[in-house]
Amino acid sequence: CLTMYTDEVTQDFCSQACELAKRITVPVTIDFMSVSSYGNSRESSGIVKIAKDLDETLEGKNVLIVEDIIDSGRTLYYLMSLP
């Protein structure tokens, strides 16, 4: 499962994700999340919020996380700690 975490899904990000998925040699499904610790601010609040969760469960799947922007790494760290 190729899971995309993005604060804002952009056309460029989606096209890059599709290019990546085409080059993976095993069956791939793609799912998107919208996750942010910024809200409407330019500075992180430190609190990670999930605006859009995954449509499918990740249980029993190998997951490749693709992040569109890594600033502090707080959001990625939070997602990796989820059960």
**Burial category of 5 from C-beta neighbours within 10 Å (exposed 0-12, middle 13-18, buried 19 and up):** buried
CA distance 4 to 33: 6
Among residues 63, 12, 5, the alpha carbon closest in space to that of 37 is found at 5
Is 71 catalytic? The answer is yes
Which entry of 7, 53, 68, 71 is annotated as an active-site residue?
71
Catalytic residues: 71
